[in-house]
A and B are shown apart, each in its own frame.
Chain A
Amino acid sequence: MIELTHVSKTYAGKDKKAVDDLTWTVEDGKITGFFGPNGAGKSTTLKMICGVNSIDEGSIKINGHDITSDVIEAKRQFAYVPDDPDRFLRLTGAEYLTFMADVYGTPAEKRAPFIEEYGHRFEIFDALNSRISDYSHGMRQKVHVMGALIHEPSVWILDEPMLGLDPKGAYELKEMMREHAARGNSVLFSTHVLETADKLCDSVCIIAHGHKLFEGTLDELKAAHPATSLEQIFLEMTAHE
C-alpha cells in the first residue's frame, strides 16, 4: 500500500507547485493506473514516492514505512521501473540481475528459480550472458523489469512499463501484474496508452497541473461519465484544467 498525505512539491526557482496537496492511497490487491497530461506532475509524484525527489510538504508511506524518516526500509518495500531502460548498459543481463539481487539482499536460493521463470516468460533467458548494450529496447525493458522484481517486493511502481515491449512481452507483463495484485499486493503504473489501462486497471488516479482530478475505481469513473470511452473522459477532465 502507498499512502500519500497532503503531499506538495515545488521545484527550486519555480513559483508554481509541481504537485499540490495530493492525498491518495494505492490500495493492496489492486492495479492502479496513474494518468495525466504531459507536465501534470506524474513523474514528480512517482519520484517522490520512490525517494528520488524530496517532499516539501506532507508524507508518503509505503507499507507503513515513511519514505523520509524510514528511508531504507521504505525502499525495500517496492520495485521501481523507470521509463528509461538504457541503464547499466555495460553489464551483462546476468550481472545486472545479480547486482540488483545483491543490493536488495535476495537470498541465493531464490535467485535462480526467479531468473529461470521470468527469463523464459520474457524470452530473454538465453541472452542474459550478453551485455545490455547489445539488447534491443524491448529486451532492455524486460531485463530491467526482472531486475526490479527479483527481490519480490509487495509494491510495484512501473513508469510506462509497456513501452518498447513486443506483444508477447506486453502480455506477459500484464499477466504478471494481474497475478501480483491477485495475491494481495499493490501495482501502480503510469501510462499514456489508455486502452491498456482500460483493460488492466482496477482503480485510477488522474492528475493535472499538480492537482488530483479523480481517484477511484474505473467503474466509478465510467459511471460518472456514461457512454464515453476512457480516452474521452480523460480529455474532458483535463481540458478544464
Chain B
Amino acid sequence: MSSVLLLTRLELQQAIGGARGAIEKRAGANGAMAGTALIAAALLAGLGWLGYMAYGMVGHLGLAKALYNILFIACGSLTFAFSLPSILGTFFGSSDTSDLLPLPVSPFAIVFSKALGALVTAYMWTFIFIVAPLAGWGIAGTLAGGLSLRYWVVYVLAAIFTPMMPVAYAGTISMVIAALFKRVRRKDAITTIATVLTLALSIGGFFVVNQTNSNSNFMQMLGGIGDSVGSVVMAFPAYGFAVYAFIHPDPLGSWLFVLLSVAAFAVFVLVARVVYMRIVTSLSSGGGAGAAYTGAQAQEQAPVFKALLRTEVRKVVRNSSIFLYYVVYPLVICPVLFGVMVMTDSMREIFRKLGSIEDATTMLAGYVLCMLMAFTVLSASSNKLATTAVSREGSNWIHMKFVPVPLSDQILAKVLPGFMVNVLITLVFLVGGGIVVVTRMGLDALVIASGLVLMLGGSWLMVCVGAWCESRNPNVEWGNDADVNPKVLKSTGGEMRSLLVGLVYAALPLLASPLLKLDPRVFMPVLAVAGVVAAVVLGRMLLSATVHNIEAFE
C-alpha cells in the first residue's frame, strides 16, 4: 500500500507540478497555498450562494429532483469527458511507466496509482457541481427546516464518491479499446482511436443519461425500490441512487450509490491491471518508412510567415492527442454537450416556468443569446493552442530564439491556429444557435450578428490573453515534441484568465442593457464595434508584451 501512495503522490506531483512550480516561483510556497485556498473559498462562496438562492426559487417550484439530476449529469458528463485526456495521457501519453517498471514496485501498484491520480484530478468537477452548490442548497434547506442531518450525510458521500463512476467509465473504455486495437503499435494511433471512440460514446451516453434521468415515466414504469430502481438503467446508475438518497429517507439509496461507485472504480483498476501492462510494453512511437523522397518538395520557396504557420498547423494536426483535445473537443463535443444539456426536460421545465412571467420573451431571448455567447467562451477556453503555444515546443523552444525571424512573427504564427479554432467555435454556437433564437424567439438577426462580431473580438482577446499568460513562464522543461500531450502541458494560468476575459465579453450585453435602456438593435452593433476595437488594441499590447517576455526568457 505504501508504494501505491508513493506512486500516487508522484502522479499528482507530475499532474500539477508545473503549475505549482510556476506559481511558487512567483508567490512562494505559502503564497501558492494561500492563493489556492482563496480560489477554492471564492468558488465555494460563489457557487454556494447560487445553490442557496436556488433553494428559494427552484425548491418552491418542486424542481429539487430536477436540480439534483442536472448537477449530477453535468458533473458526471464533464468528469467523464475531461478524464479522457487525463487517463489517456497518464496511461499512454507519458513514458514514465518504462521508468517505473524496473523499480521494486508491483505492476498493480503502478496501475492503481495512475487510476487514483486520475480520480483525484477529477474532483475539481465534483467540487464545482456538487460540493459547492449543494453546500449552499443544504444551508438554505436546513435553515428553512426542509433538510435534516441525513442530507448532510448523503452530501459527504456524494462529495467523496461522485467522480468514481465517470472516471471508471473513461478508464475502462480506454483500456478495452486499446486492447482491441493492440495490433496497431503506434502510440499515436491507439490514442487517436481510443479518444475518438470514447468521445463518441460519451456523446451517446450523455443523450441516454439525459433521456432516462429526466424521464419520470420511464422510472415509474420500472418500479422496484421506490424511484431508484428506474435509475439503474441509466448510464450512471450510481447517480440515480444518489439522487434517490437526497430525496428519500431510505438509507439503501446511499449504500447502493457508494457500492456501485466503488465497484465501477474497482472494475476499472482490474481491467487496467490486466490490459495496460500488456499493451504498454509492446508500443512503439514509430511506424513504417514513407515512400522514397524524390525531391519534388524542394521546388518552391514559401514566405517565412506562411512557412511558420504551415509548420505550426502540421505540428498540431499530426499530434492526435493535441488535435483531438484542443481542436476537435472544443469545436465538436462541447457544442453537442451544451446543446443536449439545454434540451433536457428539466431545463425546458425551468424555461417554461420562467416564460410564464409577462414580457419575458424578449428578455429571455437576450438571456439565451448571452448563454450562447457564454457557451462559446466555455468551449473556447478548452482550446489551449494559444495558452500552450511555446510550451508545446518543449526543449525545442530555443529554435525560436536563434532563427532569423522576428519573435513577433513567430508568436503570431503560433496563436493564429488557436484563434481560427475559436472563430469556428463562435460560428458553430452563434450561427447554429442564433438561427434557433431568431426563428423561435423572434430576436432580431442584427442583434445576433452583433453578438457574433462581439464574440469574434472576444475570441481574439482570449487568445492574446492566453498567449501572454503563458509567456510569463512557459513550461518547456519536459522533453521534446514526441512527448507532447495534454498531460505534460501543465497549466500556466492562461486558461482561467482568458476564460474570465471571454465571460466579460459574453456578459457585456447583459450589463449594458439595463444601463443604457436602449433598443438592442441600437446598442448591440455599437457594443460589437467597441468590443472588436478593444480586442484589437489590447490584443496588440498583449502580443507585444508576449514577445518581450519570450525575448527575456532563458
Contact = CB atoms under 8 A, between A and B. Distances in A.
Interface string B405-431: 110000000000000000000000000
A228 interface: no
Contacts of B399: 87
Contacts of B295: 112, 115-116
B301 A102 contact: yes
Classify chain B: how many residues form its interface, as a range: 35 or more
A106 B298 CA distance: 10
Interface in B400-458: 401-406
A133 B285 contact: yes
B482 interface: yes
B287 A112 contact: no
Interface of A: 11, 47, 50-54, 71-73, 75-76, 80, 82, 84, 86-95, 97-99, 101-108, 111-112, 115-116, 119, 125-131, 133-134
A116 B295 CA distance: 8
B60 interface: no
Given A72-B406, A94-B293, A101 B301 contact: yes
Interface string B375-407: 000000000000000000001101101111110
Interface in B299-320: 299-304, 306-308, 310-311, 314-315, 318-319
B481 A134 contact: no
Contact of B401 (A52, A76, A89): A52
Contact of A73 (B298, B301, B319, B404): B404
Interface centre among B292, B315, B401 (most CB of A within 10 A): B401
B177 to A, nearest CB: 23
Given A50-B401, A53-B554, A75-B402, A84 B292 contact: no
Contacts of A130: 289-290
Contacts of A107: 301
B291 interface: yes
A89 B307 contact: no
A101 to B, nearest CB: 7
A130 B292 CA distance: 8
A97 to B, nearest CB: 7
Contacts of A101: 298, 301
A103 B395 contact: no
Nearest to A87: B396
B515 interface: no
A102 B396 contact: no
A86 B395 contact: yes
Given A103-B308, A127-B293, A91 B315 contact: yes
8 contacts: A50-B398, A90-B314, A102-B302, A103-B304, A103-B404, A111-B298, A111-B299, A134-B287
A91 B289 contact: no
Contacts of B298: 94, 97-98, 101, 108, 111-112, 115
Given A99-B310, A102-B303, 18 more contacts: A11-B554, A50-B402, A51-B401, A52-B402, A52-B554, A54-B552, A71-B404, A86-B395, A86-B480, A87-B396, A88-B311, A90-B315, A103-B304, A103-B403, A108-B298, A108-B300, A115-B298, A129-B291
Contacts of A75: 402-404
A90 B162 CA distance: 39
Nearest to A111: B298
Contacts of A97: 298
Contacts of A119: 293
A129 B552 CA distance: 36
Contacts of A89: 480-482
Contact of A84 (B299, B301, B395, B402): B395
Given A103-B304, A106-B301, A130-B289, A52 B315 contact: no
Contacts of A54: 552, 554
Interface centre among B285, B301, B406 (most CB of A within 10 A): B301
A23 to B, nearest CB: 22
A126 B293 contact: yes
Contacts of A125: 293
Contact of B314 (A95, A108, A134): A95
Contacts of A116: 295
B385 to A, nearest CB: 15
Contact of B286 (A53, A115, A126, A133): A133
Nearest to A103: B403
A73 B288 CA distance: 40
Nearest to A46: B402
Given A54-B552, A94-B297, A133-B482, A99 B290 contact: no
A115 B296 CA distance: 11
Contacts of B303: 102
Contact of B402 (A80, A86, A99): A80
Contacts of B304: 102-103, 105
B284 to A, nearest CB: 10
Nearest to B315: A90
A87 B301 contact: no
A103 B301 contact: no
A90 B396 CA distance: 12
